[in-house]
């Protein structure tokens, strides 16, 4: 008897790594598709317009050959179509829109995950296009009373620090609501801002040190920062480092 040949399943070969240009192009397509889905999703909220249009057509068809004008108000259409038929058709249109939104949300989630993975392999590029990379609302830290402006400005400075950490330069621009926009010169406003969102920040202990140097309590920004973090990591409360 012949011995059966054992066939071992082989894992699929890993996809080849994208070059930087290929990665940026893939990200551009991802963002374009995400924008299209956002518009399609919003349009689905207009399902009731299609529902009323279908009701109007059904009422007109039912009144063919009759005298008088067909109703045009929602109340008149509902009465003409009949309560049971109205509810059934309304439910059908609503369910159709809800099902379509679920499909869109699933694709949006997949795109978001892929976008994050792509951005982590790329670096934002400096260029000649001014782009807003972050905006800090004027009311963001109003709980700090008279210190609110100081905390708002330092929140903007943190973004500048992260830009400089990546070899980019940023500027802080006051806004009319008392907040700040952080802008930077980038190669592509859409792509590089998105890549920056996923880029690595300065280290946690350096971030804490800079907060205290600016006389800002880091726990206002990050309430879950452990108590005693400064002592454990050799930091004082004035932006310095303790001697070992």
Q: What are 17-41's pLDDT values in tens digits?
A: 889 999 999 999 999 999 999 999 9
185 membership: H or E segment, kind and range: strand 180-186
pLDDT tens profile 116-170: 999 999 999 999 999 999 999 999 999 999 999 999 999 999 999 999 999 999 9
Angle between the N-to-C axes of helices 83-119 and 189-198, in degrees from 0 to 180, rounded to the nearest 10: 80
Q: What pLDDT band is residue 68 in, cutting at 50, 70 and 90?
A: confident
| pLDDT higher than 70, residue 15 | no
Q: Which residue has the higher pLDDT, 142 or 3?
A: 142
| Helix axis angle, 83-119 to 74-81, nearest 10° | 120
Q: How far is CA 70 from the centre of its chain?
A: 46
The pLDDT tens digits of the residues spanning 44-64 come to 999 999 999 999 999 988 888
DSSP string covering 190-237: HHHHHHHHHS--S-HHHHHHHHHHTT--HHHH-TTSPTTHHHHTTB-T
- Average pLDDT of the segment spanning 111-116: 95
> Contact 80/62 with Cβ under 8 angstroms?
yes
Task: Pick the closest to residue 193 from 222, 221, 161, 170 (CA basis).
Answer: 170
Architecture of domain 126-202 in CATH? Answer: 2-Layer Sandwich (3.30)
| CA separation, residue 87 to residues 81, 83, 84, 170, 194 (Å) | 10, 6, 5, 56, 44
- On the question of pLDDT at 88 being above 60, the answer is yes
Where are the domains positioned within the chain? 21-119, 126-202
DSSP state of 14: P
Mean pLDDT of the chain: 91
Write down the pLDDT at residue 240. Answer: 93
């Amino acid at each position: 008897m012949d011995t059966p040949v054992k066939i071992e399943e082989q894992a699929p070969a890993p996809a080849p790594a994208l070059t930087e240009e290929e990665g940026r192009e893939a990200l551009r397509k991802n963002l374009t598709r995400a924008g299209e889905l956002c518009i399609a999703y919003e349009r689905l909220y207009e399902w009731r317009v299609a529902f009323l249009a279908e009701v109007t057509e059904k009422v007109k068809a039912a009144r063919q050959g009759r005298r008088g004008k067909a109703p045009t108000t929602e109340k008149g259409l509902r009465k003409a179509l009949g309560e049971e038929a109205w509810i059934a058709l309304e439910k059908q249109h609503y369910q159709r829109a809800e099902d379509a939104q679920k499909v869109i949300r699933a694709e949006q989630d997949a795109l978001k995950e892929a976008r994050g993975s792509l951005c982590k392999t790329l670096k934002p590029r400096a260029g000649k296009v001014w782009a807003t990379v972050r905006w800090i609302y004027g009311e963001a830290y109003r709980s700090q009373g008279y210190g609110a402006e100081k905390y708002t400005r330092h929140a903007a400075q943190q973004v500048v620090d992260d830009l400089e950490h990546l070899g980019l330069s940023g500027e802080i621009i006051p806004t009319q609501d008392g907040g700040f926009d952080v802008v930077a010169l980038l190669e592509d406003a859409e792509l590089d801002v998105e890549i920056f969102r996923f880029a690595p920040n300065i280290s946690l202990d350096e971030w804490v040190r800079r907060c205290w140097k600016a006389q800002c309590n880091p726990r206002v920004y990050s309430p879950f920062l452990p108590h005693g973090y400064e002592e454990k990591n050799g930091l004082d409360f004035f932006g310095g480092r303790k001697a070992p």
